[in-house]
Amino acid sequence: MPIHVKGPAARYTRDHHARNINREFREKLSIGQRVADQVAKVVGSWPFIICQSIVILFWIAFNLYIAYQGYKDPNFFKAWDPYPFILLNLMLSFQAAYTGPVVMMSQNRQADKDRLMAEGDFMINKRSEAEIKVLMEHLIHHDEIMAEILSRLDKSVEKQTPEGLEPTATPEG
């Protein structure tokens, strides 16, 4: 008795292509957005903080030295930014006023990119789920075929053995 296989239990079609979201996102950036990202990258780094701290300390030390020399000798060059360092505060305020929004623009763009990546991950998960479903259906189909084969083998063995006797294995040799 031949086993009738109805055909494959599932058909797999690959109708999607992998996307590089980083490259797609990078290609859409304007020059201003690229500059904002670079500014955020520089301003948010340890080398920038260390260099800025050194410049500020030098600024303060040099102005204190000049102010002290001017106090000792009234004819000495006057400090351009004596204590309380109003010019330094003004420069740091300008820096914060301009870099703050630029960094926020970069962070907002990063959040948009993260949303795109999460959406891409979701789509991949949906496709994976569909592919796993196809595989499971295929495995179930194979299980049914195997069960049918085993059932036919059992019937074949029952027909070949006389009633009341158990089939026994004969030692070879």
pLDDT at 104 over 90: yes
Instruction: Please enumerate in sequence order all residues whose Cβ is within 8 A of that of 109, keeping only pairs 6 or more positions apart, or say none.
Output: 29, 33, 36, 37
Q: How far apart are CA 158 and CA 173, in angstroms?
A: 26
pLDDT at 173 over 60: no
Which string of b and e fits 11-34 if b means at least 16 CB within 10 Å? eeeeeeeeeebeeeeeeeeeeeee
Q: How far apart are CA 70 and CA 64, in angstroms?
A: 10
Find the mean pLDDT for residues 112-122. 90
pLDDT score for 9: 56
DSSP 80: S
pLDDT score for 93: 95
pLDDT at 72 over 90: no
pLDDT score for 157: 86
pLDDT score for 156: 87
pLDDT score for 139: 92
pLDDT at 165 over 60: no
**What whole-number percentage of the chain has pLDDT above 70?**
84
